[in-house]
Structure formats: structure tokens, C-alpha cells
Structure 1
């Protein structure tokens, strides 16, 4: 009834529909029948009991999911006394959820409800605890490892395994499940005489060999986690959108290149290509640096690289149009100029072009700043120009120096008397 009122979306000052008004009045008038219900608060198991058993039942419907726990006390004479210990129900979410997931939520609710009772009643033997559900899919989920299922199912099954384990779960027919009364709802007029709710199914009062047979849990394909396929080609097209975020998650340039080197080594293992020993070699390190340069250039200079591949020249309003540039044999964008005829090494004559405001460039500048022992802007620029040509390099270098904590402390004015 409460769920219907909520779903009607009626305001506090709005009148309800006639059908809802009549249903609410009937429900309200029947609440007086609850005064006739008397619940025993004492379980006589201390003196004459020789065995105690906890039986938990769970069920779910499109309206709600519920759990109920019964205590079965076997006396020395062999008679079995059944008592309702606790019960709990929750309204099903407004968002549509599959019935198996609701059944699993009911099982998780039962696990949370039963675990404290095991400690309070000091039941040390798990063979005296039983959990019952009428869902074969839930039983199949509980018998499998949580990693096999999707995230929602895996989280709930892992929680149930932690609280109760997976070996105490059994199947009960729906008509003999006491939790069905709470999940589907009963009127207060029917509740006092509902023996299934108060005493549980009839077979609880007889020996275990006459209980429902433990149904075999067949495997299910529902909610199976899909295995992710790994693409072993390290190219801009496949990694541009995924690997760029790695620049912001790693704190130093060296760590970024080392992580990339291990990724490349993993891919070489997939391709069955031999690699070096356990340590990263200089060749692997340099190859990872060039990989990142291609990724960064492909992200920031995609249009310019396309023009160089097609027309051999960059046109338009690009910041690179005034620079002499070309693509080397490795597909890296380099700058050329008056140093072409000098006797400097290849990287100094044709430095690699890098963009400004890139996390990769920021990590590179911080690395050079530390290697130059927190050198100034001119020293850092001279070191960088041996291999790279960074657009707007001076502004980026000043920002790195300004944010350096060590340099900030050294620049602090000494107090005088």
C-alpha cells in the first residue's frame, strides 16, 4: 500500500484517487486486528534443550523482498519447538530490477539478519544453521565464485559468503517458503492465523531426512561477467583516449615511462617476442619515450601530421606553419632550420616538436628541473633544446619553477633585525 501511495506521486495537499482512498481506508481499518497478535519473547532452550537450529528463509517479488528466521529447539524427549525469532522486509526499488537480483537482495538481507543471531545464541556448529531460498538462479550464483559474475551480483554474493558461507544454502518450494508472506504481503486480518509465518513449514517439526531434497544447482549464464579482450597493438588510434589519462595519474616522468615500458613488455609477451631480463633496459626506456611522444603529437598535432603525410607541407593558421618541420622514419614530428648543416648530433639539429600545456611536457620539465639541480629558466631551456623544441617553453618553465617547493624555500627572504 505504501508503495502505491509513493508511486502515485501525489503531493501532501492533493486528494488521492478514489480507488487509492478506498484501499487506504480498508487497510487502515484492518490495522486494529494487529492488537490480537501476541508474540512470545522467551525461547526455552537453556535447561531442557539438547539441540538448537536456525532456519532462515528469503524471498522476493516485484513489490518487496524479505527474510525471516525461525529457531527450532529439540528437547531431550525429541519434541521440536519452533519459534519466530526475527523478520525483516524492504520495499523493492522504484527502478526496475530483475527478479533474480531482487531474490539475491533478499538472500543478502537474510545473511545480515542471521549472522548476529548465531553469535547471540552461541551456535558454534554451522551444521545447525540452514538458509533457504526458492530461487535456483540465486543458488547457482552462491555456488560460483564472485569474480565470475557482474559487479552487482559479485558484491552481494561476496557479502553473503563472508557472513554465512555458501554450503548452508538449500532450495525450498515457493509454497512452503514463509518469507513469501512478507514479500507479497498479507492483510492484518489474515496474519494472526497464518501458521506458515509463525511456525514455518510443516516439515520443520520432523527429522531432517524428511526435509525437501537439496536441489542440484545447475550453472547459469545470467549475470556472467564478460571477459575483456586485450588489443596488443600500441598505436595512437587504440590508445589515444585511454592512455592519455595516465599522464595525470603518475607523479613523475620516470614513473610514467617505466609503467609504459612494463605495458609494452606485457604486449611483447602476448606476441611471444623475447625481451630483456627482469629490469627495464635503456632500449625499452627510450622506446617508451618515443611511444609517448607519438601519442602526444598525435593528440595535439593531428591536423598538421595529416598535412605532412599528404602534402609534405603545413598550411593554414597552425603554430607550426612558420617552422621548418618534417616526419622522420619513426613518424615523429621534428623541426629543421639553420642548424641543418652544423656538426651537432641528430637530435640537436632536428629537435622533436612538443606542444605546450600538456601533462607529458609538464612531467618532462619537472624532470629536467630536478636534473639541473633546480636550475633557472635559461639553463633548463638550453638542456631541453638538445632534444626538444617546446612551443612556448619559457612560460611553461617559469610555471614549473614557480611551483617548485624547494625553489620557493630558497627564494624566501631572510629576516633581519
Structure 2
């Protein structure tokens, strides 16, 4: 899905085709392969759209807290959101991320602060299925660990139990 969106974004932008890409950078049909930047941009767009759709009220509260006090790392809004105990904050890309006790560790930023995703969404199911297949059809806990390296799905354990039936 990410690659399809990346090709659609390339078509939408209709940027000039660089002629300096060698033949190894093109397929047999002459189509230029996707770059890592294009793939990352498409993934970022998909994640932003999901969060805007499912967490619009929480996103407004976080934005308001961010504009009030821009030096704070997280914008907390106690008892106003369903996931406040996760210490959510908005990163530089506009994504809601989970704050954690691991903020002083040597882990990568994506591992310390995974992107927050809703549980009942098709893309969340696709992420779970991908992690399940990459872990060689592992159990619930190993799939949950693999998913949480980058994403924090609300009610993730139950969602994995629900999703991993499909092989």
C-alpha cells in the first residue's frame, strides 16, 4: 500500500524525470524505482491521515497544549482523552507519538516513542499481519513486540489476537 501511494504521489507531483539515473535505477519498462525518501513520505502521509481521522479531538487538544507551552516535551490533557496515560505528544512531522520512561535510553527515537495508531483500522491490521509474517507466524507476544518497535496500537494485544487468525 505504501508503494502504491508513493507512485500516486509521484504521478500527482509530476516532477521532471531525472535523466541522470542509470539503467540499473529503472525497471524493464523504464519506470524509475521509488527512492527511500518517496517511500518514507508516503508512509508519513498515510499515518497522518489515519491519526486525523481517528484522533481528531485529541490532536486539537495536543496542538493547543503545544502552542501554549512549546518548550514542553509532551502535551498532557488529563482526563480529556482516551490515551492520556501514554503521555502523548506531537513530533516534528505532526504525528502523535507515545511518551515513555525510555526517553533517556540509547534506543532509536522510533523505538522510544512509537507512533500511536487506532486499534480498529485497516492499516493497523495490515501492520499486524506484516509483523506476524515477518516473525514467521509467531505468537501474540512476539508479534506485539515486533509491532511496538515502531507503532503503538491501542488495545494492541486484543487486536493481534483478532487479526492473526488470518494467515
Bucket of the pairwise TM-score, normalised by the shorter protein: 0.7 to 0.9
Aligned to 1:268: 13
Which structure dedicates a bigger proportion of its chain to strand? 1
Unaligned ranges ≥5, structure 2: 27-31, 67-75
Match of 2:48 in 1: 294
- Whole-Å Cα distance in 2 between the matches of residues 314 and 262 of structure 1? 38
SS in 1 for 2:34: coil
Aligned to 1:258: 3
**Which has the greater radius of gyration?**
1
Aligned-residue CA RMSD (Å): 1.7
Distance of aligned partners of 1:317 and 1:311 in 2 relative to their CA distance in 1, 3 Å threshold: closer
The CA deviation string for residues 344-393 of structure 1, in whole angstroms up to 9 with x for no partner, is 11101111111100011011111111111111111111111111111111
Q: Secondary structure at the match of 2:98?
A: strand
SS of aligned partner of 1:266? helix
- Structure 1 residue ranges, 4+ long, deviating more than 3 angstroms after superposition: 272-277
Q: Describe the SS at the equivalent of 2:164.
A: helix
Flag the structure with more relative contact order, 1 or 2, with Cα contacts below 8 A and sequence separation at least 6.
2
TM-superposition CA deviations, 1:321-351 (whole Å, max 9, x none): 2221111111011011210000111101111
Cα displacement string for residues 190-246 of structure 1 (whole angstroms, at most 9, x for unaligned residues)? xxxxxxxxxxxxxxxxxxxxxxxxxxxxxxxxxxxxxxxxxxxxxxxxxxxxxxxxx
> Structure 2 CA distance, aligned partners of 1:261 and 1:370?
23
Deviation at 1:274, TM superposition (A): 5.5
TM-score, length of structure 1 as denominator length: 0.34
CA–CA distance in structure 2, aligned partners of residues 273 and 328 of structure 1: 31
**1:283 equivalent in alignment to 2:37:** yes
1:69-123 Cα shifts (integer Å, max 9, x gaps): xxxxxxxxxxxxxxxxxxxxxxxxxxxxxxxxxxxxxxxxxxxxxxxxxxxxxxx
Q: Indicate if the aligned counterparts of 1:268 and 1:274 stay in contact, CA closer than 8 A.
A: no
Quick check: 2:96–2:115 contact (8 Å CA) kept in 1?
Answer: yes
Q: Would you say the 8 A contact 2:128–2:164 is kept in 1? A: no
User: Secondary structure of 1:403's partner?
Assistant: coil
Aligned length: 147
So what's the TM-score if we normalise by structure 2?
0.81
1: CA distance between counterparts of 2:77 and 2:56?
11
Question: 1:315 offset after TM fit, Å?
Answer: 4.3
Structure 1 residue 373 corresponds to structure 2 residue 136: yes
CA distance, structure 2, for counterparts of residue 329 and residue 402 of structure 1: 36
Q: Which runs of 5+ in 1 are unaligned?
A: 1-255, 405-417
Change (3 A) 1:273 1:353: farther
Say whether residues 1:331 and 2:94 are aligned partners. Answer: yes
